[in-house]
Every structure is written in structure tokens, then in C-alpha cells.
Structure 1
Amino acid sequence: MKPFQLTYIAPEAVLLREALSGWGISKRTLASVKYGGGRILVNGKEVTVRHVLEKDDAVTVIFPNEERGAGLIAEDGPLHIVYEDEALLIIDKPPVQNTIPSREHPSGSLANIVAKYFENQGIPATLHIATRLDRDTSGLVCIAKNRHIHHMLSVQQQGKKMKRRYQALVHGLLEKPEFVITEPIGRKSTSIIEREVRPDGQFAETQVRVLHNFCGYSHVQLQLNTGRTHQIRVHLAHIGHPLLGDDLYGGKRELITRQALHCDKLELLHPTTGKRLNFTSPLNEDMALLL
């Protein structure tokens, strides 16, 4: 299996270690290259990070192959691939499928199926899921094919350069056409699963736009400005408009048997080229029928 590698061109004379840091290679990644079987080449010759680069030198970082953890079982299954290249895999996840295995659902997750896909394609990587979705939530999921790419995506998320948009159906009619929910979210003291708005929670912000009010429920568009666990579900329940089907947070299952939440748009900068990528996903059939 061919290892993942990236090539950079030195813009000026500089110490290699400093250049690598400027290109986003973290100390942890550098250590994995150094001690895990990777290599660093300058103009085709292996060097150490103490090497002094000249302007226009070609620096190739060969990352070590990764091994999948023994706990993740590779399984055959359908995958709706929206986009793929040597660094990224964008998947459109159906509802009622875990992103990663859990104690209640140890198999059949997106991670299980992607592991088998990587195995079949000869991709030497473990699973690096950059944007997880809850089991019942459908839509776009971003997966990195390398530990370094995952790190680069995490930096983007922290810098708010990656954007995720959702569509949802909520109970009740919302009066304001657009508003922002800014409420801290933390784990509920009586549960290991539930979250709630609480003063000692982490800062969380959700932008809400009403697309249409129906009889008894509303179609809304949501933009996450932070990425807390269950953020959309908790924020909407907090303002008295829980998601249809979300019985954990007060939603009813009369019209739909899962939480009516779908990640319909994903924007990010490609971690190696810097090019802005935009992906969209149509609503799943169960939500579309309610519209």
C-alpha cells in the first residue's frame, strides 16, 4: 500500500523544522513521521529537520501507514460517496445509522463500512471522522484519510473556516424569521447521554432561519457557529421548539420516527490545496414527505 505523501516548495531559505510548522505539520505529526516509519525528503534526498532549505527546494513528507484498531470491525455495506480524493472522503449518511460503533450498536456503523472500503481500496489509514452526526441525523459527513489531514481539518473547525448547515422540522411556529441562540451547553447531571443549557456549560451558538411555517410545525435552516454535542437538539428544545421525532428532548414521533434533522451543506478549505469546497445533500425522503 502506497503511503500518503505531500510535497511543498520552500518559499525562501529557512530551517526545515520551521518550514514544516508553517505548512501545518504539528509536532505530534512530525514525531509520528520520525518514529513511525515515515520520511522527509528534500529534492529526493532524506534529511533531518535541522536541514537548512534553499528557496524553491522541494520538500516531500512521506507519512507512515496507519493501522486500524482491532476494535473496529470492517464490514461490507452501502456507501453514498459524494466526493473523494487522496485526502478526503465525503459521505451522505442515511438516518438510523451510527457514525461510529456504540455499545448498543456495535456493528453496521458508517465507520465499520468505511473501514471495509479502505481495506478494499488499499488505503493505509484508520478512521478519522472530522464531522460526526448522531445516529438519527442524516446528511454529510467529512472523513480524513490521514492523521495529518484530520489535524488540518480540526484547525479549520477551530478557526470557523469549516461550515455546516442543517435543515430541521421543529414543533410549533416560530415568530421571528431569523435569530441566534447563544446558550452554554453541558452534560445533564442525571444522565450520561443528555445535554442541557446550563450556566457552567461550554459556549454554544446556533443561527436559526425559518423557511416555512406549517400547521403545528416549522421548517428551519440552522448554521452551527460551534460544535457541541447535541447542540441543535438542545438549543431548539430550550426555546420550546424541539425537533419532530426527538423524544430524548421532548419531540413527538407522530409524524416521523427519528429526529427530523439533516446536514444539507458542508463548506471547507481543502487541507492541501486551500481550494474552497462546497457539498450539498437533498433531504431524506421521510423529511421531504412532510414538506
Structure 2
Amino acid sequence: MENTWQYQGAQPIKIKKFLQSLGMGHRLFNDLKNGQGKFLVDHRKVRPTTKILPNQPLTIIAQPELRDLSVKLSDAPLNIVYEDDNWLVIDKPAGVTSIPGPTVDNGTVLNRAVHYLVEEKSADQRPHLITRLDRYTGGLLLIAKHHVASSMISQQVQQHQMLKEYTAFVSGIFDKEHDIIDKPIARREGQVQRVIAEDGQRAVTEYWVEEEGADWTKLRVRLHTGRTHQIRVHLASINHPLIGDHLYGGDTSKYQHQALWATKLSFKDPFTLKQLTFSREINEIPDKKIK
């Protein structure tokens, strides 16, 4: 994989510092430095300690990642929304698992993505899921097509700089049109459910009311942290569980899994330095109208 940036600063800068400013992690830089890649300035190979001058192009060439043979191939649809040399944005259907596990070892997003890269004869055949969704949460999901992209975006993920919004249908009517839920979430040994607990990790969820029915509300929800089941736990904690969410007390009489979709995803592309924004509309629970 080859990527090039042009340094726009006013003063000379070391390659490492420049790449770190773009988001590259220490591990990837060290891998490149220790023989798994090359650094080129003005198309000439240079040492990793070299300084770049203003307006000079820096190119990194990384060795490709070969396929992990333990991951089975699945030719099930990937539902691609956007693709370039570095990223895949897909629309994951509800009911599809993100990665293989003890109970599902094929047909997941990862199995499908590997198959896609193999079919495309990509040099890199080990995709990295940057965002993940619960099995029964559908919507937008970001995949890095190679390890350089995965490393370059990791800082945005860790610092919660990536904008992620969801559409949720919940039980009940809200008193407030907008609010922020700031409650710590904890895991309990042997339990799938997460709980609100003082010893948990801080979790912050923001919501806006978009539509109301007789006994239900459509919300736009934004995550400011990324805890497991965060939206589900937080909304249940204020007595507005997701419709269909059997795990957290939602009404399952009309819908059999949580009515939640990832509907907006926005991040700064560390390769082009442009903001990439993707969205999809959910106007009602698909195939199950709320009356």
C-alpha cells in the first residue's frame, strides 16, 4: 500500500512527527522503520529520521497484509455505500454479526469483507472493522481496507472525534425535546447485560426527539463515548427502552429486535484531510409500521 502527503508547514519537520500529526500510531511507524515499509521524500528513499521541508511530498510504502486463513470467506452481500483505496463504508443489515465468534463463524461483516477483497484481488486482504454494531443494530459501519488506514484513524476513535448518530424508536413520550444522559456503565461477570453502576466507565449519550406517536418516540441519538450496549442501557435507564429490545425491557409485541440503526457517520480522512460524512434515512421501523 502506497500513500502520499504533501507537507504544508512552514518549518522542517521529522517524518515521525509529521506522520503522528496525521494520526499514525507508534506501532505502525516502528513497523515501517524496522523493515516493513519504506519512506520516500520527493520520490527518493530516505531514512525515517529525515526532516521534510515545506511543500515536500512524503510517501510511505507498507508491505501488504495477507489474508488470515482462519477467517472463512462469505459471498453474502456487503452493501457498500462508499469505497476508495483506504475505506469501505457499508450498510449492515440488522441480524448480521460484525465479527466471527464462538456462535457465529461465517457470514459476518468481516467474513464478507475478506471475501470482497479476495475477489477484488487486493494486495491487502485483512480488513479492519473501525466501528462495530450489535448483531441486531443495522446501519453504517466503517472498515479500513489495510492496516495503515486502521492505524491512521485510531486516534480519532480513541479520542471520540468520530461523529456517530443513530435513529432509535423507543417506548413512551419524552418530557424534554433534547437531553444528555451521563451515567457510568459497568459489566457484571457472567452477564450479557450491562448495568448503570458507580464503578462503571463513564458513558455519555445525547438525544433529540424527532417524532412522536401515541405511545412511542423516534429519536436522533449521538454517542459521545463508545460503551457496549450504551444506547440500549441509557434509554432503558430513563424508562424509555428501545422497541423490540428484549434484553433491556423493550416491547417485543410488534418488533423482535431493538429498533436502532446507525444513520450518520462522519470522520476526517487522514489521507485526504477532508471530512467524509455519510447518512441514511430511517423514517419508520422497516416492515413493521408503528400505529
TM value normalised by structure 2: 0.91
Contact 1:4 1:64 survives alignment (8 Å): no
3-state DSSP of counterpart to 1:17: helix
State yes or no: 1:268 paired with 2:267.
yes
**Counterpart position of 1:253:** 252
In 1, the alpha carbon distance for the partners of 2:152 and 2:37 equals 18
Where do residues 42-53 of structure 1 align in structure 2 (5 Å cutoff)? 42-53=41-52
Contact 1:10 1:53 survives alignment (8 Å): no
Amino acid at match of 2:202: F
Deviations 1:144-181 (A, max 9, x none): 11223222322123333311111111122222111111
- Structure 2's unaligned 5+ residue stretches are none
Contact 1:68 1:126 survives alignment (8 Å): yes
Contact 2:5 2:59 survives alignment (8 Å): yes
The structure-2 alpha-carbon separation of the partners of 1:133 and 1:174, relative to structure 1 and needing over 3 Å to count, comes to: same
**Counterpart position of 2:142:** 142
**Counterpart position of 2:276:** 277
What's the CA shift for 1:114? 0.8
What's the CA shift for 1:77? 1.2
Deviations 1:71-96 (A, max 9, x none): 21121111211111111110011110
3-state DSSP of counterpart to 1:143: strand
Contact 2:22 2:152 survives alignment (8 Å): no
- Structure 1's unaligned 5+ residue stretches are none
Deviations 1:220-250 (A, max 9, x none): 1111111111000010111111111111111
3-state DSSP of counterpart to 2:36: coil
In 1, the alpha carbon distance for the partners of 2:183 and 2:160 equals 18
**Counterpart position of 1:117:** 116
Counting aligned pairs with the same residue, the percent is 34
**Counterpart position of 2:94:** 95
Where do residues 143-222 of structure 1 align in structure 2 (5 Å cutoff)? 143-191=143-191, 193-222=192-221
State yes or no: 1:8 paired with 2:12.
no
**More displaced stretch, 7-16 vs 39-48:** 7-16
3-state DSSP of counterpart to 2:115: helix
Contact 2:23 2:270 survives alignment (8 Å): no
Amino acid at match of 1:42: V
In 1, the alpha carbon distance for the partners of 2:158 and 2:7 equals 26
The structure-2 alpha-carbon separation of the partners of 1:285 and 1:122, relative to structure 1 and needing over 3 Å to count, comes to: farther
In 1, the alpha carbon distance for the partners of 2:288 and 2:208 equals 20
What's the CA shift for 1:125? 3.7
TM value normalised by structure 1: 0.91
What's the CA shift for 1:29? 0.7
Give the aligned length.
288
3-state DSSP of counterpart to 1:277: strand
3-state DSSP of counterpart to 1:290: coil
The structure-2 alpha-carbon separation of the partners of 1:21 and 1:190, relative to structure 1 and needing over 3 Å to count, comes to: closer
The structure-2 alpha-carbon separation of the partners of 1:65 and 1:174, relative to structure 1 and needing over 3 Å to count, comes to: same
3-state DSSP of counterpart to 1:169: strand
The structure-2 alpha-carbon separation of the partners of 1:139 and 1:234, relative to structure 1 and needing over 3 Å to count, comes to: same
In 2, the alpha carbon distance for the partners of 1:72 and 1:265 equals 29
What's the CA shift for 1:34? 2.9
Contact 1:10 1:59 survives alignment (8 Å): no
What's the CA shift for 1:37? 3.0
3-state DSSP of counterpart to 2:114: helix
**Counterpart position of 1:28:** 27
The structure-2 alpha-carbon separation of the partners of 1:22 and 1:164, relative to structure 1 and needing over 3 Å to count, comes to: closer
Contact 2:23 2:155 survives alignment (8 Å): no
**Counterpart position of 2:133:** 133
**Counterpart position of 1:229:** 228
The structure-2 alpha-carbon separation of the partners of 1:56 and 1:278, relative to structure 1 and needing over 3 Å to count, comes to: closer
**Counterpart position of 1:106:** 105
Amino acid at match of 2:84: D
3-state DSSP of counterpart to 1:139: strand
Contact 1:32 1:64 survives alignment (8 Å): no
Contact 2:23 2:153 survives alignment (8 Å): no
